[in-house]
Structure 1
Amino acid sequence: MNDQLVSMITQLVMEKMEKSTGSQTPEIAATPTEQPLIKFYDTVENRSSGTTEAIATSQEPLIQLYQHGAPQQVTTVTSATFEQPVNDAVPIKPFQFEAGSLSESVQAAKKHTPARIGVGRAGTRPKTKTWLKFRLDHAAAVDAVYGEVTEDLLQKLDVFQVTTKVTDKEEYITRPDLGRRLSEESKALIQQKCKPQPKVQIIISNGLSASAIEENVQDVYLALQQSLSNLNIDIGTTFYIDKGRVALMDEIGELLQAEVIVYLIGERPGLVSAESMSAYLCYKPRIGTVEAERMVISNIHKGGIPPLEAGAYLGTVVEKILRYQASGVELVAKEG
């Protein structure tokens, strides 16, 4: 190797070592006046002019690149954590089960109504027991509408059966007008078997709840018979109507020329009771009778008006109708 070249390399190495050992602190900090080589700003494009402008709200560049030895400035960025929600207006609350105790006002209301109040919830859903009870009541309501009165009950009451112009349950629900008219065969059967021009004509129909008739009609009917007998009021020939509506009593009244008709019919079931029955009364009902001329004793079931009590009370109402020769609003006016 060339001796002159070796000498030059050795001299350069020695100078470099002396320069590095001669300074105790390395040059790692830039002077305050030193400017970065490159700055990156958050920018927004001005679409109208086709230029890009820096956002005026931020005074500091997003990124600064310095030459060797320049300080690295770290920008602190606040981020959302689980302990501190982003939206302070709607704080996040931990899930808690509903308290088991009810307020005094809710407890007092529960004593006076079978409605579903104060049943509680599990989060956003009803409790399992409440939901199952609701499903059970709904199924009972469906069974009441689509059910049928048994032949055994009709035999116990010693009544014969007639039908309306309705052919099936679906038509009965969707065509109330057909449930207000008797079939031609039924008209002939009624005229054949029933006593004409009775003081009181009792009729029975499943209506919208066969369960109501099964559960209540026997006690109501027997108590009503006994009450009218004690009052020496003549009773016509009772019969049963399948799929009848309330206004059917008008056609029967015109057909038999009865003074008073008592119509025992199953009520539309609810989600509290599917076994509720009503008793409609009217003085001389005829085709064209308005609803204001009718009277009704409703909610006849074990959770409402007891069937035996309802039957006895109906006898006194019939007596009042015959005395004033009126029913409904007109009876109230004559009494007053």
Structure 2
Amino acid sequence: MKEQKDTHADDLKQFTPARIQVGRTGTRPLTKDALSFRIDHAAAVDSVYGEVEDSLLAKLGLFSIDTRYESKENYLKRPDHGRLLSDKGQKCLLEHCEMAPQVQIVISDGLSASAVEANIMDVYRALKDSLDSYGLKTGTSFFLKGGRVGCMDAIGELLQPEAFVLLIGERPGLVSAESLSAYMCYKPRKGTKESSRMVVSNIHRSGTPPLEAAAHIGTLIHKMLEQKTSGVKLVV
């Protein structure tokens, strides 16, 4: 009977990265399983407290501004500070960004700098290609340090884009610390309802492949602009 149970668990492990059939020695997990857990936990912590390298932003031709996050500790305690731009950041956008673009792309570290480091090169370039294939024009892309999803509204108020894409690091887990999300909204402004946003999540090499995700995001943006809506009202 025990042999059948183990065989079934082995079959399940082919379809999920979840921690199932973790071995034990008495009341403690096996050394290999305990070490695996500690490695994944350390990777998750590093992704939260990590920094996106300036060299990567330079390769993508992006300048950087800050929210009012102040520090990582404050960012984790005060999510609302990640939804607002710093005074210097607002001034920078007004000086350097195209106003009222058809599509605005913003990249943010969010809760995982590792997600940006691992995926953004492929996602950003493929997304630009996808939007170009639909004849859509993008504004001035930039990097936002310490961003939260709600920052879309503050940026939308300032730049007045028609469609908005926020590529942001997801909260890391013990399966992947490199998962990116793409939040989209039609005309995000102050007071935008969460039901108006839509998301493509779990973008990483073991989840939704970056190139596939970028093509899908481009298609959704095209439909948003055609239907002039987003979120639950969008007919996909």
If the length of structure 1 is used for normalisation, what is the TM-score? Answer: 0.68
Check whether the contact 1:202–1:261 (CA below 8 A) recurs between aligned residues: yes
CA–CA distance in structure 1, aligned partners of residues 95 and 16 of structure 2:
47
From 77, 81, 86, give the equivalent of 1:178.
Answer: 81
CA-to-aligned-CA distance 1:26-65 (integer Å, 9 cap, x gap): xxxxxxxxxxxxxxxxxxxxxxxxxxxxxxxxxxxxxxxx
User: Residue 275 of structure 1: SS of its match in structure 2?
Assistant: coil
User: Residue 12 of structure 2: SS of its match in structure 1?
Assistant: helix
From 50, 56, 65, give the equivalent of 1:153.
Answer: 56
Task: Look up the match of 2:179.
Answer: 276
- Segments of structure 1 that go 5 or more residues without pairing to the other structure are 1-98
Deviates more, 1:282-291 or 1:118-127: 118-127
Task: Look up the match of 2:110.
Answer: 207
What is the root-mean-square deviation of aligned Cα atoms in Å?
Answer: 1.3
Structure whose residues are more often helix by fraction? 2
Matches within 5 A, 1:108-127: 108-127=11-30
From 55, 69, 74, give the equivalent of 1:166.
Answer: 69
CA-to-aligned-CA distance 1:191-242 (integer Å, 9 cap, x gap): 1111111110000000000000000011000000001111110100000000
User: Residue 228 of structure 1: SS of its match in structure 2?
Assistant: helix
CA–CA distance in structure 2, aligned partners of residues 129 and 303 of structure 1:
22
Task: Look up the match of 1:222.
Answer: 125
Q: Which amino acid aligns with 1:105?
A: H
* Dislocated runs of 4+, deviation >4 Å: 99-102
Q: Which amino acid aligns with 2:49?
A: Y
Q: Which amino acid aligns with 2:123?
A: V
User: Residue 299 of structure 1: SS of its match in structure 2?
Assistant: strand
CA–CA distance in structure 2, aligned partners of residues 208 and 220 of structure 1:
18
CA–CA distance in structure 2, aligned partners of residues 213 and 184 of structure 1:
25
- Computing the radius of gyration from Cα coordinates, the structure with the larger value is 1
Q: Which amino acid aligns with 1:152?
A: S
If the length of structure 2 is used for normalisation, what is the TM-score? Answer: 0.97
CA–CA distance in structure 1, aligned partners of residues 25 and 196 of structure 2:
49
Task: Look up the match of 2:101.
Answer: 198
User: Residue 8 of structure 2: SS of its match in structure 1?
Assistant: helix
Matches within 5 A, 1:231-310: 231-310=134-213
Q: CA deviation at 1:119?
A: 2.1
CA–CA distance in structure 2, aligned partners of residues 294 and 276 of structure 1:
19
User: Residue 177 of structure 1: SS of its match in structure 2?
Assistant: helix
